[in-house]
Structures are given as C-alpha cells and as structure tokens.
Copies of this chain bind each other. A is one copy, B any other.
C-alpha cells in the first residue's frame, strides 16, 4: 500500500527548470539567498554532469518577473527553452509538454520558483499522466515555510518523491567508481564542508 521505491536512473531522467527568473527570485524567502543560489547552480551542474536532458522555461521574462538567471542560460545553450506566453502551469503549454515527451524519459526531476505554483502545478500534471516525479525541494523556493510545507504535502500525497540535489546526485551516480574525480568536483564546488575535507586531505604534508 506504500508508495513504491522508484529509483532514479540517469538513462531515464529529464530535468525541468521552471521560472528561476531574477524578479521572481526576490519572492523566495524560505531559503537564504546565498544557499538558494548555490542549490540552483548545483542543480544545473548536476544536470549537465549526468548529461540529463534539461528543459528551461520562463514566465513573462520581459516584464517584472525578469529574465532567467544568466548562469542557467549559459549552462544549457542548446536546451529547449520555452518562454511561456501566459500559462502559469508549464504543463498547459504544448511546447513544454512536447519537449518533455521528446526526451523520451519517464522520470521527471523538477525544480522551480515558486514551489507551490511553478513546481507543484507541472508536478501534479505530470503525475496525473503517469510520470514518476522527483521534486528538488532545495532548488525550489517560495514565500515562507508555511507555504512550503503546504506545497510539499500536496505533492507528496499525490505521489511525488521529495528529494534534494545532493541525494539526487548520489542516486543518479550510484557508484563512486563510475567517476570519482567528476562527482568529487561537483561536491567540492557546492558543499563548502566537503571542499574543506578534500583540501585538508590533499594538502597534508604526507601527500605532497
């Protein structure tokens, strides 16, 4: 009767980055901005590292919502980029859904701003169509904790799996031996404590 364990598979997963726009980011107050910026960029880095098909979408980027954060745009120069003309739920945009279908993947990893709208709406729609949905809770932000927990509850009860970017990376990688250097670099770039462990280890006199 419990939700079954759907394990992330890097060959069957696509990433949806929804509305990480410079204006909308000023609405995010449930995560500290330094940490949130790091989480979003880490999410971008891992999508790139694992070669996951990634879809970018924005809402009204020429108005107050502002443009997509430039770092994401630069990171995925050839990714499908859907500037939605008005649909709030990205899943209501045909181009977006087509781009998802074109990936041929069944596991959808979603992050966005704000959690209860830009993440929850497409997550719920995708679940309703039979996709496995993984919400990246720490690369998604919203107004406050009350809103966050309401949104989490709605998505979890509908079948979504709540994860954070670090767990995502670990579940996708599966075995360090696939590439120690690569994953270590990803972690070192986005986890100061991990970076410190590596620096301490590498600069020991015995190692030089």
Contact = CB atoms under 8 A, between A and B. Distances in A.
A-side interface size class = 35 or more
A89 B174 CA distance: 7
A150 B159 CA distance: 13
Interface in A27-69: 27, 29, 31-38, 59-60, 62-67, 69
Copies in the complex: 8
Chain A contact residues, majority secondary structure: helix
A66 B190 CA distance: 20
A201 to B, nearest CB: 4
A2 B123 CA distance: 13
8 tightest Cβ-Cβ pairs between the two chains A and B: A206-B206, A2-B159, A86-B177, A22-B196, A116-B167, A26-B26, A64-B197, A5-B124
Given A2-B158, A23-B197, A137-B150, 12 more contacts: A5-B125, A22-B195, A23-B196, A32-B32, A33-B192, A62-B204, A66-B196, A70-B199, A88-B171, A88-B175, A121-B170, A154-B162
